[in-house]
């Protein structure tokens, strides 16, 4: 009998302690929003780009002078869920993930995304899978490159092809079209999978109330003026697709695992 009493007493004490901890945590979370601001801010500025990112940014600016290049853009900044009931789920899943650079048309529409990966610090398979799925769903072309083997300006110029070669600005020091470098993975991938339609010149404004992942302004693509396809059935050519061509030393498919997850692989839709 005394043993049972002690067991019950210990269980009651443990329950009281657990309840107290829970109450303290909730009160602390509630008070955090009303906490006083610090009197000193021991912070300092740091560079946005690493040396490799700075080099690739310059290459992108040289290759695509008529496009906007944005850095470290979160996925939630240019995608939104179709079902408002799942906003929190998708925000929690996608919120921490960003891409190194995005290439935008003059109206702000994202056309392509570029990631830099260091061989010593590859992205997790989960993060890579999320990026591939999101960018494919949003019809954004995607390329990954090694930090020590960046693509040339001529190759990046083919990532967002113009309607004709005559409209593509010249890149100083770019190789001739007949060189082997022109037939690299990135060049062949973009040339074979380029969309035919051009970008609209009209700006798309998010607005104050709409500039949020939690306030999707429309259920259809704001940049797409074509009629909305029927809900049943997927359009031809939908789904993940790899346009990686014959690799050279610049983009080695073995550097980042199996095909479909290799440096230079481009995933998107026609």
The structural domains of the chain, with segments of one domain joined by +, span 51-194+239-267
Question: Which two tokens mark 91?
Answer: 């925000």
pLDDT for position 171 = 52
Instruction: Let me know: does 242 contact 169? Beta carbons within 8 Å.
Output: no
pLDDT for position 214 = 58
pLDDT for position 21 = 78
Average pLDDT of adjacent 10-residue blocks, the chain of 270 residues: 74 83 69 80 93 94 94 94 91 93 94 90 89 94 91 88 51 46 44 41 42 52 51 40 36 38 38
79-120 per-position pLDDT tens digit: 999 988 999 999 999 999 999 999 999 899 999 999 998 888
Instruction: Let me know: does 234 contact 132? Beta carbons within 8 Å.
Output: no
pLDDT for position 126 = 93
pLDDT for position 212 = 58
Instruction: Let me know: does 117 contact 145? Beta carbons within 8 Å.
Output: yes
154-172 per-position pLDDT tens digit: 899 888 866 444 444 555 5
pTM of structure: 0.54
Short-list 217, 221, 194, 195, CA closest to 206: 217
């Amino acid at each position: 009998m005394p043993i049972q009493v002690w067991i019950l007493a210990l269980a009651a004490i443990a329950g009281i302690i657990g309840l107290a901890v829970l109450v303290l945590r909730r009160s602390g979370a509630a008070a955090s929003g009303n906490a006083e601001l610090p009197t000193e801010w021991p912070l300092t500025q740091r560079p946005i780009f690493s040396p490799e990112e700075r080099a690739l940014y310059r290459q992108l600016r040289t290759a695509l002078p008529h496009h906007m290049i944005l850095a470290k853009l979160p996925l939630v900044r240019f995608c939104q869920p179709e079902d408002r009931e799942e906003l929190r789920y998708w925000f929690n899943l996608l919120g921490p993930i960003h891409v190194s650079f995005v290439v935008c048309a003059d109206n702000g529409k994202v056309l392509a995304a570029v990631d830099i990966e260091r061989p010593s610090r590859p992205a997790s398979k989960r993060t890579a899978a999320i990026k591939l799925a999101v960018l494919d769903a949003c019809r954004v072309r995607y390329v990954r490159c090694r930090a020590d083997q960046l693509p040339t300006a001529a190759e990046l110029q083919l990532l967002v092809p113009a309607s004709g070669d005559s409209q593509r600005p010249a890149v100083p020091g770019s190789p001739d079209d007949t060189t082997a470098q022109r037939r690299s993975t990135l060049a062949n991938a973009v040339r074979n999978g380029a969309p035919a339609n051009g970008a609209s010149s009209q700006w798309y404004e998010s607005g104050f109330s709409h500039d949020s992942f939690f306030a999707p302004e429309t259920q259809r693509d704001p940049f797409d003026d074509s009629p909305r396809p029927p809900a049943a059935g997927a359009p031809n050519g939908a789904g993940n697709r790899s346009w990686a061509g014959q690799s050279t030393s610049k983009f080695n498919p073995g550097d980042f695992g199996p095909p479909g997850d290799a440096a230079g692989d481009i995933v998107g839709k026609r």
